[in-house]
A and B are shown apart, each in its own frame.
Chain A
């Protein structure tokens, strides 16, 4: 008997045992009666309780384990019901196909700590910071300093516009998982603050947290493991990219014959000639914000209009500019009005020949995308400025990472398929917002709305290209993961999706039942290349108490 003999193991495997204790009992009874027909082996008899039943239970247990181990080496059995097997079982089978489970990673990020004056403050290694119901720990000791930094622990103090002082530290999530990624500006509370501490917040988006692959996700990768990693068929290309960029969440490849392929029909007949492929890579389930500090040129003195350009290397393939604010401002409190945003292309060759891109519809969200932005700053003091002078502003830009890295990789001479033209794109974004109401019974545990929002965000951000819609049922089901007792979701829920097309225009979709990706041929848009994104700040959960009759 092994140490693993316990009720849990026994129960979990019942579905996979084609017998039962009763069948084993009958087997033992029949076996004994065949030899000793005068034995009384009925239930309640001593022979039954002391001999038959224990033997039958052990027999059933052994058969169950034997059956389990037999099935655990069966790819077919694991594919049919992956969650019924242990991680070790699935890992062993997956390893036969050169596929390893992606381990979860911990989010890391930078936290800004604001102090009342310029003073020396020590943040010990392991100091805790909490926010949005999550905990993070300082990765090492950090010491604020107004003087020169002489050790790796020293962090320079900078004065903010409001007269306070700030320095930054690095923290790591308490546990692995994508749920620990946080948006820029999220308030974090220092668990054991020093004197002079005012507040702390996320300096720039916390990213990099990933959940460990589930058995189902692991098994779904098997075809990628078997496929040759090469710029050939869709499975091969996907396998190559996943092997080189393991955080890639979803891939869709548009090529010859697809209605979404616009780049292969630039000829006098306008017919599709093939030879080109657009590779849509979702490299993060959530949008990742980057802060760009830009020197902006005053272009309209009376109206206080400033202009800046975003080069193709500053945030390759970015989606949207979320906010613009003066560089000396402490944190984001809003955004200046963007009066004009024109996306462009910079297709000058890098170390390889650039793919053929005719216009922004074909080149939006690629590493070749650029932008010229104009915005109005009515509070700007332009008295001492004239047209052509510059002023620093911060741009909060949302997009996906690694778009340029993947483009550079697949275009490398040793990797690139010499017969093809491959363009890597971030998926066309549809930004989702959700509003719903949760009812809970008076006296029951209060609804954790943050947890509900997190569950919904995780579910929506986890939708892949193969679904092509956000059904209300998915949102409601996710919400229930965070509900306890008698809390219920009240229908209908309200969902709104903003689809930012490659041309730069946006279309808004609103529904109580489902948000579905439309087919827009002139923009090359369909469910094959659109990804859904949302954030807890875009999810509104209202809570209402209800009374019920006592039973």
Chain B
């Protein structure tokens, strides 16, 4: 039985390039399947570990490394991304119910392409579910000097 989460990535289209905004809809919408997987992955991927009260293991170190300047080239980016994916996978394996449908479970997250500029990083991510379906999307990250 499919399960649903509230949709916080607004403006998503089934195919093609589309600007996506992170907010609750009005009226709100639910999401499921691979879109729900991508939403959960992205949200945790961009959450800094240690920033959530009472759950010190939620999140990854990706943004922390990016802000500290540790991500400088392809090697360091690839390393930080894989470490973050591992954190997400481990967290989900520990905390998720094994009975949720396969198309709602994360199987892989791959770094497809990237663009690193001073103060700005854009990564293209491929999400693959346990059911085998996949999607690609771009995650832009801006790093301000005062952060």
Contact = CB atoms under 8 A, between A and B. Distances in A.
Contacts of A45: 5, 36, 40
B53 interface: yes
A53 B52 CA distance: 10
Interface in A1-25: 21
Contacts of A37: 1
B122 interface: no
Given A46-B6, A46-B39, A57-B53, A40 B1 contact: no
A47 B43 contact: no
A47 B36 CA distance: 11
Interface string A18-57: 0001000000000000000111101111110111010001
Contact of B43 (A38, A42, A44, A53): A44
Which of A37, A39, A49, A57 has the most chain B CB within a 10 Å cutoff? A49
A49 B6 CA distance: 11
Contacts of B97: 42
Most buried by A among B5, B24, B88, B91: B5
B44 A44 contact: yes
A47 B31 CA distance: 11
A40 B104 contact: yes
Chain A interface residue number, banded: 10 to 19
Nearest to A22: B54
B5 A46 contact: yes
Given A47-B6, A49-B43, A42 B96 contact: yes
Query: What range describes how many residues of B lie at the interface?
Result: 20 to 34
Interface in B30-83: 32, 36, 39-41, 43-44, 52-55, 58
Contacts of A46: 5-8, 39-40, 43
A39 B3 contact: yes
B40 A44 contact: yes
Contacts of B52: 53
Interface string A409-436: 0000000000000000000000000000
B95 interface: yes
Contacts of B24: 50
B131 interface: no
Interface in B1-30: 1-8, 24
B92 interface: yes
Interface string A44-78: 11110111010001000000000000000000000
Nearest to B7: A46
Contacts of B54: 21, 57
Contacts of A42: 40, 92, 95-97, 100
B2 to A, nearest CB: 7
A53 B8 CA distance: 16
**Which of A21, A43, A57 has the largest number of chain B CB atoms within 10 A?**
A43
A44 B97 CA distance: 12
Nearest to B58: A43
Nearest to B88: A44
Which 4 residue pairs are nearest across A and B when measured between Cβ atoms? A40-B3, A43-B95, A44-B40, A45-B5
22 contacts: A21-B54, A38-B1, A38-B2, A38-B3, A39-B3, A39-B4, A39-B5, A40-B104, A42-B40, A42-B100, A43-B91, A44-B43, A44-B91, A44-B92, A45-B5, A45-B36, A45-B40, A46-B8, A49-B43, A50-B6, A53-B52, A57-B53
Given A42-B95, A45-B5, 20 more contacts: A37-B1, A38-B2, A38-B4, A39-B3, A40-B4, A40-B32, A40-B36, A40-B104, A42-B92, A43-B91, A43-B95, A44-B41, A44-B58, A44-B91, A44-B92, A46-B6, A46-B8, A50-B24, A51-B6, A57-B54
Interface of A: 21, 37-40, 42-47, 49-51, 53, 57
